Amino acid sequence: MHGIGNDYIYVNGFEETIDDPVSFAICYSDRHKGIGSDGLVIILPSDDCDFKMRMFNADGSESEMCGNASRCIGKFVYDKGLTDKTELTLETLAGVKKLKLFLGEDKLVETVTVDMGEPIFESGLIPTTINKPSIINEPVTFNSEIKYNITCVSMGNPHAVIFTTGIDKLDLNKIGPVTENAAIFPRRTNTEFIEVLSTDRIKMRVWERGSGETMACGTGACASVVAAVLNGHTGRKTTVELLGGELTIEWKESDNRVYLTGGATTVFEGTI
Ligand SMILES: N[C@H](CCC[C@H](N)C(=O)O)C(=O)O
């Protein structure tokens, strides 16, 4: 399945057990020698929520949360009849997320809104070793030559957001690994490169921790809109243009929570 091009292999953990998800993710995410994906998502029973997710990047590392995957899980469990509810709770390593499913004419899930919770700014919780309470538009020199102002936001997983220009031409394969593995990020980071198009539209390319450049990142889009608001670039409801499509993000003033809305698509099913 994919959420605007951010594709994962989804496994129904009610029926299948993966003994070694790390090796599975590494092996089958390979686009030439495996199935090909940005990683692995396992849908599991939960004690307190309707469902639980575990998500592994293409390098086998486990992430706390994935916005695009949470929408696809909503589609998976509803379309397959694992639930008939259109409002669901999902247990993740970043806490409980609430999903609202919207059906298309075919009565299958087309769009999902996810309550992604409150953004986190405290340096120690990002985590970053930069010795300031929070990191907003902070000048940083990477590899003693690349200078960027970064804003750090955790959506349960770490994001460094960089506002810049000419992102189409950026050599992400070169700069991405540098920011991802910088010593200031003890658990590495996802990095978003943002061009502000207007007060309600931004364009984003993302280098994901553990998976490299992907066509979209839901938590990254949320972190970027929060960063755009904090830096005075956009309003609280903003459309994010990604390589794979668009996401609508709203950071509500009333409850301080971030709401992510976008599509979810099933590509194929198979047995290995
Ligand atoms: N693509 C995902 C995020 C994956 C984040 C992962 N790369 C990490 O290590 O945190 C999303 O839609 O939110």
Tens digit of each residue's pLDDT (9 = 90 or more) over 66-99: 999 999 999 999 999 999 999 999 999 999 999 9
For ligand 1, say whether the CB of 21 is within 6 Å of any of its atoms: no
Q: Which fold has domain 123-254?
A: Diaminopimelate Epimerase; Chain A, domain 1 (3.10.310)
The residues of the chain that CATH labels 3.10.310.10 are 2-117, 123-254
Site of tokens 């950071």: 251
Q: What is the mean pLDDT of residues 229-253?
A: 98
Instruction: Judge if the beta carbon of residue 6 lies within 6 A of ligand 1.
Output: yes
Active-site residue, selected from the candidate residues 72, 152, 217, 222:
217
Residue 219 Cα to ligand 1 middle (Å) = 6
For residue 158, the ligand 1 atom closest to its alpha carbon is 10
The per-residue pLDDT of the chain, averaged, comes to 98
> Is residue 210 annotated as involved in ligand binding?
no
Does the domain at 2-117 match CATH 3.40.50.80? Answer given as no
Burial of residue 272, with CB atoms counted within 10 A of its CB: 0-12 exposed, 13-18 middle, 19 or more buried: exposed
- The answer to whether ipTM exceeds 0.85 is yes
Q: How far apart are CA 46 and CA 130, in angstroms?
A: 36
- Percentage of the chain surpassing pLDDT 90? 100
Say whether 66 is catalytic.
yes
Query: Does residue 219 have a known ligand-binding role?
Result: yes
Residue 106 exposed, middle or buried by CB count within 10 Å (0-12, 13-18, 19+): exposed
